[in-house]
Amino acid sequence: MSGVDDTDLIQFAGSCSQARDAVQSYRDRVYDLCTALQRYMTIEQARQLRLRMRDNNAVISGSFALRFIGRYDFEEGDLDIYAFGGDILPIGDFLASIGYLFTPRAVQEPHFDSAVSRACDDSITPEGTVDSTESSSDYTEVETFTFMRGSAKIQLMMCRLGVAETILQFHSTVVMNMITHDTAYSLYPRATFVDKRTLKTCKGDTRECEAVALAKYEQRGWEVVDKMSPIDALSHNTEFGKGFRYVGDEMTRIIKLNNPVSYPGSSDKIKYNSWTLKYSEAVRPRPTSNDPIPHWWFMKPQMETWTGVDEEWNIDAFCFAYPHMADRFTESASCSKMPINLWTTTRASTELMAICLDVASRASTRSALGC
């Protein structure tokens, strides 16, 4: 089953009870996150890491997430864990407790706590001071903290923006995958795992580190696409189209992990963050005598994001299931000074309502306290 796409596996599982049992047994093995992390820690330590990811809204992304969700056998270079601001501290402390050593760069404080504190005080980090090759910003909103234990390398990525927004600023769609404490999400699953294409979303000219990363995925078999035809770009029904998207929508691949570490009432704050691909006319090839459509042009993509519920103090927009939910959120958060833009979808979700009301309540509390 290793060579079969996940969508086809699910369809096969519906054919009979024996197929269902076989597919479920296979998925239980390959989507065991604790086992997949054995290069970095023991199974029990991996379970403890998942608990800290749950409590601090952290996610695993980068090559590890791509390898895990796609069930590939290439070896990732390191493990990248993303969290907002000071939420990275408990995870770093945990890594230190199991034998990892913080390895600061020359510009960082020698001790992890003080390095995080200083990074939280800095509003932005100049290009070139961050280890990650995934971010596509001229000035990155990610600070990297490297931990080593022998040859094992774990990078904690402190996000100054929301975690989802940070991942949506990666160089291309192939690495826009996330693993939370109990769920794995791929935002562009058909393009990534079926069509083996990745859409380059870098802003402006490609930087050297981005070019290296894109070349790496080309060598692994992905076609790098940097422009789309107007027909594809303007579609609302394809992954690379300009329709509004949110984490967990019908185009997202969602994989529930076995051995869950959730507790009653908990939910992934990464869900329902929203974005769209914004296209602009960039290239108009010269018509030739053999060109059947002499006025054809191509569209260049750029990611446009709205920070959502994974960081309640940097909210630009929310995706709501019903318009009245937007009204309730606006009323609850009216005493805060946050600029809030709201857009709605007809999809109902009690979980989404619970998340939004929880965030709104904490936003109102923060405002009442004068924070």
Shared-domain flag, residues 90 and 176: yes
CB 57 within 8 A of CB 89: no
Q: Residue 259: is its pLDDT beyond 80?
A: no
Shared-domain flag, residues 167 and 235: yes
Contacts of 368 (CB under 8 A, 6+ apart): 335
Strand pairing class (341-344; 317-320):
parallel
> Which tops the pLDDT comparison, 282 or 71?
71
CB 162 within 8 A of CB 311: yes
- The model's pLDDT over 189-218, given as tens digits with 9 standing for 90+, comes to 999 999 999 999 876 566 777 888 889 999
Shared-domain flag, residues 18 and 81: no
- In the chain, what percentage of residues exceed pLDDT 90? 36
Closest CA to 328 of 366, 367, 358, 370: 358
Band (pLDDT 50/70/90 cuts) for residue 3 is: low
Structural domain including 16 reads 1-30
* Bridge partners for 277 per DSSP: 303
Shared-domain flag, residues 25 and 86: no
Shared-domain flag, residues 23 and 45: no
Helix 43-55 crosses helix 88-97 at what angle (to 10 degrees)? 160
Q: Residue 129: is its pLDDT beyond 70?
A: no
Shared-domain flag, residues 99 and 57: yes
Band (pLDDT 50/70/90 cuts) for residue 24 is: confident
Classify the C-alpha dihedral 357-359-362-366 as positive or negative.
negative
Q: How many structural domains compose the chain?
A: 2
Shared-domain flag, residues 26 and 51: no
> Which pLDDT does position 270 carry in this prediction?
84
15 in a structural domain? yes
Shared-domain flag, residues 16 and 136: no
> Which pLDDT does position 37 carry in this prediction?
96
- The model's pLDDT over 309-344, given as tens digits with 9 standing for 90+, comes to 443 333 444 545 445 545 555 555 554 444 444 444
Per DSSP, the three-state class of 319 is strand
Task: Quote the DSSP letter at residue 162.
Answer: -
Q: Residue 275: is its pLDDT beyond 60?
A: yes
Of 266, 292, 325, the residue at which a domain comes to its end is: 266
Contacts of 117 (CB under 8 A, 6+ apart): 109
- In the chain, what percentage of residues exceed pLDDT 70? 64
Shared-domain flag, residues 22 and 44: no
* Alpha carbon separation from 135 to 39, 129, 253 (Å, rounded): 25, 12, 22
* CA count, 13 A, side-chain hemisphere, 90: 14
Containing 281, the helix (H) or strand (E) segment is strand 274-283
End-to-end CA distance of the chain: 53
> Which pLDDT does position 280 carry in this prediction?
74
- Core vs surface per residue 72-89: b (16+ CB within 10 A) or e: eeeebebbbbbbbbebbb
CB 102 within 8 A of CB 92: yes
> Which pLDDT does position 339 carry in this prediction?
43
Shared-domain flag, residues 150 and 25: no
Q: Residue 282: is its pLDDT beyond 90?
A: no
Choice among 91-105, 117-131, 159-173 with the minimum mean pLDDT: 117-131
| Token couple for 21 | 């049992």
> Which pLDDT does position 243 carry in this prediction?
77
Shared-domain flag, residues 199 and 117: yes
Closest CA to 312 of 359, 246, 365, 259: 359
84 in a structural domain? yes
> Which tops the pLDDT comparison, 60 or 368?
60
Indicate which CATH number applies to the domain containing 189. 3.30.460.10
At residue 83, what is the residue type? A
Band (pLDDT 50/70/90 cuts) for residue 365 is: very low
295 in a structural domain? no
Separation between Cα atoms, residue 211 and residue 218, nearest integer Å: 10
**Residue 327 CA to chain centroid, in angstroms?**
28
Shared-domain flag, residues 157 and 53: yes
Give the number of other Cβ atoms within 10 Å of residue 215's Cβ: 11
